[in-house]
Structure 1
Amino acid sequence: MDTTARFRMNRTTLLPVLVFAFCLIPLSAASAWLLLLLLVPAVVAAWVWRTGFDIDPGAITVRTLAGRRRVPWTELAGVRVGERADLWLVTTGGTEVRLPAVRARDLPAIGQASGGRIPVPTPPTDQ
């Protein structure tokens, strides 16, 4: 594994945000205070653009709108699948970090990008 694999939100999500911002323009032109409404689509666009995680040879780096957290491979105990098929990194210290923008169906791609460090469960076979 020589490169960094990036998992991000789908950029087409920015299209409705752009439409929403365009629809807010007439309303925000009514008053100087209503110009602040344009901050809402700007923050949502920044969230879509930034949220995700990177898998590199040294660690998994989870990025959110407010910051980032790097979990080295030596501190990774496993991956937990939540009730709504969301994925959580479980560290050796007992803390959990949510993996944004992916679900349990994305585990094969994550396992492949991790170079086998994250095992992918195989479905049971009928005998």
Structure 2
Amino acid sequence: MADKEQDEGRKAIFRIPRTSFMAIALLTICVTPIALGEIPYLQWLYIFPIALAVFVIRTRTIATREGLATRTMFGHRDVPWSALKGLAITKKSRVQAVLKDDTKLPLPTVRTRHLPVLSLVSEGLVADPSGQLAAEDIKPGKPGAPASE
């Protein structure tokens, strides 16, 4: 089992916190008196909580040794690290991947505080601008090498 994890390398999944389902449940409770009230045909209001739940479940960014995989409500895209030119930071601390053809790919749920994690997962291909990581932290572990405590 440990050999399989070593071969796959590090993996990070950035997604919307699951506690947002509590807000969706509250929205469903609030919509219920209106949808089931005296005015007919308002059951379509349940579309909003269902759409929000699908959004929370689907939206994520997965970083692996091979590259980035972004998944949105209606699509997905895989980007290898070799196709990445760099990362751009927007005004709201969101991170975008800049590809070699200068197109920008938004990375859902990835913020500037996640950049050290991206550096660890990419094994140094993405630089850590925060300076929190040492060089030995970024390098992948050697198979069969004892783990230091």
TM-score between the two structures when normalised by the length of structure 2: 0.76
Q: Give 1:40's match in structure 2, choosing from 24, 45, 48.
A: 48
* Alpha carbons 2:67, 2:122 under 8 Å: kept: no
Flag as ranges the 4+ runs of structure 1 deviating above 3 A: none
Q: Give 1:23's match in structure 2, choosing from 9, 17, 30.
A: 30
What's the counterpart of residue 119 of structure 2? 111
Q: CA shift at 1:114, angstroms?
A: 2.1
What's the counterpart of residue 58 of structure 1? 66
1-structure distance, mates of 2:128, 2:49: 37
Q: Which has the higher strand share?
A: 1
2-structure distance, mates of 1:106, 1:66: 24
2-structure distance, mates of 1:38, 1:110: 37
Q: CA shift at 1:20, angstroms?
A: 0.5
Aligned residues: 123
Q: Give 1:87's match in structure 2, choosing from 83, 95, 100.
A: 95
Q: What are the ranges of 5 or more consecutive residues in structure 2 without an aligned counterpart?
A: 1-7, 132-149
Q: Per the alignment, do residues 47 and 107 of structure 1 end up closer, same or farther by CA in structure 2, a change over 3 Å counting?
A: same
2:36 partner letter: A
RMSD: 1.5
2-structure distance, mates of 1:9, 1:27: 28
2-structure distance, mates of 1:52, 1:32: 37
SS of the residue 2:105 aligns to: strand
Q: What are the ranges of 5 or more consecutive residues in structure 1 without an aligned counterpart?
A: none
1-structure distance, mates of 2:110, 2:33: 36
What's the counterpart of residue 75 of structure 1? 83
Please tell me whether Structure 1 or Structure 2 has the larger radius of gyration of its CA atoms: 2
Percent identity over paired residues = 28
What's the counterpart of residue 8 of structure 1? 15
2:26 partner letter: V
2-structure distance, mates of 1:44, 1:80: 27
